[in-house]
Structure 1
Amino acid sequence: MAQLGRHPGAGRTVAALALLALAVAVFVSLGRWQLGRAHERRAIAQAIEAGRAQAPLALSPEVDAGELRPWRAARASGRWRHELSVLVDNRNLDGRPGLWLATPLEFDGGRGQAVLVLRGWMARPLGGEPLPAVPRPQGRQTVEGELAARVPRMFELPGAHSELPQGWPGPAAPDGLPRVQNLDLDALARASGLALLPAVLMQTSPAGDGLARQWPQPSVDADQNVGYALQWFSFAAIAAIAWLAVAARAWRRRASNRIPERRDKTT
């Protein structure tokens, strides 16, 4: 590389070699990142398959936390604590903006032990119209669904908040229920005074309440990431070949410049 400085254009050659070397490193790094994403998606697919392969779990205050595996079918019986319902905002379904309704289901016995249930999705009214009435079935209820480790989170939008209102539960919010961007189980337990199971039940059983129950599914298409990785590695190979071509051309140029020097010395 030091010899390149003896002929015009050497600076451009050095810059080209440096940029091509950087491109190779970046493309390889991106390819490896895509392979990592593929590995993560395979792990998620295996977790979903393992959870759904287990027998349905009957939830109760005595259930072992180790049994609360995500994606496992489960059912719970008790009564709704409507006054502790929360709306989880900015949740879309088929491109329509809406909210999830989350309500604790208190187990039989009335000892403040419950499981948080994501009951379903409702559309957000347009034009500042009020929300439709929240369904409030009474008496003992049995709910079936799939377990999740927590309420699925999303990126915090500007101006959104995930804190429950001060003094809640207490006076009702203007539309009847507090709204949050993301709902944390521990925060809900502290605010409500309930002893919540360390899992969430995403309801799938019909209830005739007008709520939609199409819960988001994580992407498990690992082949797509592998395809992207191959593309990045191909770009890295092209950049590497270009580096070799530029280096070879510079070497030939240097060799051709050295021949006249030898002839001059012989004369």
Structure 2
Amino acid sequence: MVRPHSTARTLAALLLLAIAVFVLASLGRWQLHRAAERLAILQTIESGRAQAPLVLTPATPPAQLQPWRPAQASGRYRDDLTVVLDNRNRDGLPGYWIATPLLLDDSNPPSAVLVLRGWMPRAAPGQPAAVAPPAPVASQSVTGELVERVPRLFEIWHFGNDPEDGLPKRLPVDGGKPPTVQNLDLTAYAGATGLRLLPAVLEQRGEVGDTLKRDWPQPSVDFNQNRGYALQWFGFATIAGIAFLVVAWRALRRRREP
């Protein structure tokens, strides 16, 4: 026995299909937006690495501090101003990044660039706590790549708070032990140390005779993956749109039948 036609059910089906088309198409557009963002990041990386190496000085114009540009700085480390960045994983292992300022001159206050010196693993349970290797005392020539800030980890417990993330108000701290923080904001760090920091961070690369690892993570730039996802969502939206037209056409045909 054929069930009688229900106008309410037809309208409900059309409404749901229309919502599905809108939601699925919106997801496709969002994936295209993410693809554009990743493509822009890739172009920024390639553009920076194509630049000639930059020699950092206190007078380096901020416009030349292009992210991913090779750079070199000479000066002395202030090891007493070292900061340890927690929860920085490498190859699935928990560990820390070590950040130390490199003084570029002897002015008062001195100019400096913050150097991410490398990664060290966290001590295994039951083992003594890991200790950051001291920075060299002698004047150094440090090479690496520029990034605009210390890469930040999202912390829900710090959401909406200031960017200091536990950084002491003044550095160095008593006792000489480097503070351990989750994230490090350049403005907050400059205020705590009194240094005149360049508005960029130097990720040190190459081997310098210590135990730190320097294969720094890079942002995901697989924009083709997002484009593939967008194609899938648009395909689902097309199917839902066809279903909408079929249901609407059948409803219209029933209305025209005697």
Equivalent residue number for residue 48 of structure 1: 45
Change (3 A) 1:124 1:82: same
Once the two structures are superposed, residues 119-164 of structure 1 have per-residue CA deviations (whole angstroms, 9 ceiling, x without a partner) of 0001111226311342331110111000000001111154797131
Q: 3-state SS of the aligned residue for 2:201? A: strand
For 2:119, the equivalent position in structure 1 comes to 121
Distance 1:133 1:239 in 2: 57
Aligned to 2:94: 97
Identify the residue that residue 151 of structure 1 maps to in structure 2.
150
CA distance in 1 between counterparts of 2:181 and 2:90 reads 17
Q: How does 1:1-267 map to 2 (within 5 A)?
A: 8-111=5-108, 112-127=110-125, 129-156=128-155, 158=157, 162-172=165-175, 176-256=177-257, 259=258
- Structure 1 gap segments, 5+ residues each: 1-6, 260-267
TM-score for both structures, normalised by structure 2: 0.91
Aligned to 1:4: none
TM-score (norm 1): 0.88
Kept in 2: contact 1:77–1:108 (CA 8 A): no
Please state which structure has a larger fraction of its residues in helix: 1
In 2, Cα distance between the equivalents of 1:158 and 1:97?
Answer: 20
Q: Percent identity?
A: 57
Which deviations, in whole Å up to 9, do the C-alpha atoms of 1:92-144 show, x marking residues without a partner?
10011111000000014354110000000011112263113423311101110
Q: Give CA deviations for 1:75-106 in whole Å, capped at 9, x if unaligned.
A: 11111101100011111100111110000000
Please list the CA deviations of residues 34-77 of structure 1 after superposition, one character each: whole Å capped at 9, or x if unmatched: 11111111111111111111110000101111110000000111
Deviation at 1:172, TM superposition (A): 3.2
Q: Distance in 2 between matches of 1:192 and 1:47?
A: 31
Mapped to 1, the partners of 2:9 and 2:107 lie a distance apart of 79
Give the Cα–Cα distance (whole angstroms) in 2 for the partners of residues 135 and 253 of structure 1: 83
SS at match of 1:30: helix
Deviations 1:222-264 (A, max 9, x none): 11111111111000000000101111221222223xx1xxxxx
Structure 2 Cα separation of the partners of residues 125 and 28 of structure 1:
48
| Secondary structure, aligned partner of 1:49 | helix
Larger Rg: 1
Aligned-residue CA RMSD in angstroms?
A: 1.8
Equivalent-residue separation in structure 2 for 1:159 and 1:67 (angstroms): 32
SS in 1 for 2:106: coil
Count residues in correspondence.
249
Distance 1:167 1:63, change over 3 A: closer
- Rounded Cα–Cα distance in structure 2 between residues aligned with 1:172 and 1:40: 45
